[in-house]
């Protein structure tokens, strides 16, 4: 304010300079953002231009790709169901309770997210085939009777209880290089994403409602089942969908732990690799496009779920 | 009757020590104190949601200190009401009865009683998302009363209501206390609430030594 009480205005109006500054801002913002969007669009366009509808249809008629599609649907669904089954209680535990070691559990759960995929596959392979010497020392496994000791002696490895042998001999379920290995490799990664989703879901649910339920006669388990779980249904669907999508894109651990045997452990992600390795680019691109379509469908479903949550 | 004898309870780094008071059966007690002094913590300790480190909580002369919340016959209405978003109003009123495996006829009779008492009969089939503040408050109250508790703990139950609704809510709470005979412990910041509702006024205050204690217990003025 001047001495006379009148407002002193700047010599150059902000009204004139404002739109120009805003235009520069939006130009920079739009330019940088469009780089990434353009890259994705170009990638998809490149895939589309590489193949023709006829070649696409022909590739998808191949029996090995149809088998891979069926196995993919089966393993992804199993991995997603298992992930939700484990992630729901674990997410609730991490969200609601502080216990000794809870921070460590929180970190451990995230390890599959940051671990290089091949390392995860290798770790699974070792877990299933490395003898557990401790069990022998503790007398928990009769390794000689099971023939494990002999194998150990022949290979020079320390003898002991082996998970893969036990599963095959006791339960009749061989895992490594079979389709259960595909599910396990997918589950190991997708469950970590599901746990994150479920933890955030339960963080957003008012824990006081469960407290009130307990004063009304619920046990902690009943409060979880009757009050928290019904509120978490969208989170459960989201966790399942994310797990399914993550399982669909899994490749490294599957290749190492389950292999890529046609009609046996081949899923769509390994189909791309197998088709490329035999020079069948058309088929590789067709499978890739099929996976793109599946991924888009999953994304649309997630967006729909997200819209429902926000309203 | 509710009695706290030398009760100590922790909330994070905050410690309430040596809390002692008595409220006679059927009385309407008002608990006051400045924000953050531990009123909600004290209610949670009474209803068993927070562990009591030392001392005893007695309800009707019975030591319930180690009892689980559901066994104490206490109705608890938190400040944010904490309604169950996936349930209808009727399901809220039936919730405690279902846990006790009450028959359909008993449950229906109780729901009818509560709906009439709280004037929420027209809301029974509705979900709780679209309820007004006053309606939500009555539903939470009905849910807390459904299992006929001996003690009702109300954590600032009418602080979020407008003046008119607040006034009718006060009348309803007092009527409820008189008609059902339930002992009430009502946390409030509002002196008017204390004067209009309370038979007994309890005040949580920090003493000169830094300890938080119930230092005033007497008839509300």
The size of the A-B interface in CB pairs under 8 A is: 63
Tell me what the mean pLDDT of segment B196-206 comes to: 87
> How confident is the model over B13-64, as pLDDT tens digits?
778 888 888 899 999 999 998 888 889 999 999 999 999 999 999 999 999 9
Residue percentage of chain B with pLDDT more than 90: 60
Residue A132: its pLDDT value, please?
Answer: 78
Tokens at residue A91, please?
């997410």
* pLDDT exceeds cutoff 70 at A157: no
3-state SS string for A15-78: HHHHHHHHHHHHHHHHHHHHHHHHHHHHHHHHHHHHCCHHHHHHHHCCHHHHHHHHHHHHHHHH
CA-CA distance, A142 to A161, in Å (whole number)?
8
Q: Which residues of A touch B (CB under 8 A)?
A: 206, 208-209, 211-219, 222, 226-227, 230-231
CATH of the domain at B69: 3.40.50.300
Distances (CA, A) of A268 to A71, A191, A282, B201, B213: 8, 20, 14, 72, 68
Domain tally for chain B?
1
What does the angle CA A172 – CA A176 – CA A178 come to, to the nearest 5 degrees? Answer: 75
3-state class (DSSP) for residue B174: helix
> How confident is the model over A214-255, as pLDDT tens digits?
999 999 999 999 999 999 999 999 999 999 999 999 999 999
Q: Decide if B133 is inside a domain.
A: no
Tally Cβ neighbours within 10 Å of residue A5: 6
Partners of residue B49 in chain A, C-beta under 8 Å: 211, 214-215
Structural domain span for residue B29: 2-82+148-218
3-state class (DSSP) for residue A121: helix
- Provide the pLDDT confidence category of residue A135 given band limits of 50, 70 and 90: low
Q: Decide if B63 is inside a domain.
A: yes
Nearest residue in chain B measured CA to CA from A231: B86
Judged by a CB distance cut-off of 8 A, whether residue B69 touches chain A is yes
| pTM value surpassing 0.80 | yes
- Provide the ipTM: 0.92
Judged by a CB distance cut-off of 8 A, whether residue B86 touches chain A is yes
Judged by a CB distance cut-off of 8 A, whether residue B155 touches chain A is no
* pLDDT exceeds cutoff 80 at A202: yes
> How confident is the model over B88-130, as pLDDT tens digits?
999 999 999 999 999 999 999 999 999 998 889 999 999 999 8
Q: Decide if B142 is inside a domain.
A: no
Q: Decide if B185 is inside a domain.
A: yes
CA-CA distance, A66 to A290, in Å (whole number)?
11
Residue A8: its pLDDT value, please?
Answer: 64
């Amino acid at each position: 304010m001047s001495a006379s009480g009148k407002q002193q205005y700047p010599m150059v109006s902000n009204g004139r300079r404002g739109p120009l500054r805003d235009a520069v801002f939006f130009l920079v913002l739009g330019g940088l953002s469009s780089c990434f969007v353009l890259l994705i669009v170009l990638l998809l366009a490149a895939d589309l231009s590489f193949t023709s509808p006829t070649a696409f249809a022909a590739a998808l008629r191949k029996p090995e790709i149809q088998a891979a599609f069926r196995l993919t649907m089966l393993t992804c669904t199993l991995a997603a169901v298992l992930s939700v089954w484990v992630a729901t209680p674990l997410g609730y535990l991490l969200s609601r309770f502080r216990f000794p070691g809870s921070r460590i559990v929180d970190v451990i759960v995230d390890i599959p997210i940051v671990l290089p995929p091949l390392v995860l596959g290798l770790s699974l392979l070792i877990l299933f085939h490395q003898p557990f010497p401790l069990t022998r020392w503790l007398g928990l496994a009769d390794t000689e009777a099971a023939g494990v000791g002999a194998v150990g002696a022949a290979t020079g490895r320390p003898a002991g209880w082996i998970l893969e042998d036990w599963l095959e001999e006791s339960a009749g379920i061989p895992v490594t290089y079979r389709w259960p290995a595909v599910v396990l490799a997918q589950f190991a990664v997708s469950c970590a994403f599901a746990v994150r989703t479920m933890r955030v879901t339960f963080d957003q649910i008012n824990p006081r409602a469960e407290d009130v339920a307990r004063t009304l006669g619920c046990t902690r388990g009943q409060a979880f089942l009757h009050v928290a779980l019904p509120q978490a249904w969208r989170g459960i669907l989201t966790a399942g969908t994310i797990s399914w999508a993550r399982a669909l894109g899994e490749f490294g651990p599957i290749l190492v732990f389950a292999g890529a045997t046609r009609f046996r452990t081949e899923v769509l992600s390994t189909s791309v690799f197998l088709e490329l390795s035999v020079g069948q680019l058309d088929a590789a691109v067709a499978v890739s496009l099929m996976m793109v379509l599946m991924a888009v469908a999953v994304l649309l479903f997630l967006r729909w779920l997200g819209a429902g949550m926000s309203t | 009757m509710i009695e706290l004898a030398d009760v100590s309870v922790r909330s994070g780094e905050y410690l309430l020590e040596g809390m002692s008071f008595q409220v006679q059966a059927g009385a309407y007690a008002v608990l006051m104190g400045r924000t953050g002094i531990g009123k909600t913590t004290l209610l949670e300790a009474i209803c068993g949601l927070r562990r009591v480190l030392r001392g005893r909580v007695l309800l009707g002369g019975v030591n319930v200190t180690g009892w689980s919340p559901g066994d104490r016959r206490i109705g608890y209405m938190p400040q944010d009401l904490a309604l169950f978003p996936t349930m209808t109003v009727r399901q809220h009123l039936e919730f405690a009865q279902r846990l006790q495996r009450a028959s359909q006829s008993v449950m229906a009779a109780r729901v009818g009683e509560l709906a009439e008492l709280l004037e929420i009969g027209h809301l029974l089939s509705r979900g709780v998302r679209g309820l007004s503040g006053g309606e939500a408050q009555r539903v939470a109250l009905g849910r807390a009363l459904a299992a006929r508790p001996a003690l009702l703990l109300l954590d600032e139950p009418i602080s979020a209501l407008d003046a008119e609704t607040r006034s009718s809510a006060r009348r309803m709470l007092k009527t409820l206390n008189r008609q059902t005979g339930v002992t009430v412990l009502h946390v409030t910041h509002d002196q008017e609430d204390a004067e209009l509702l309370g038979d007994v006024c309890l005040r949580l205050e920090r003493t000169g030594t830094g300890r938080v204690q119930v230092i005033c217990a007497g008839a509300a003025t």
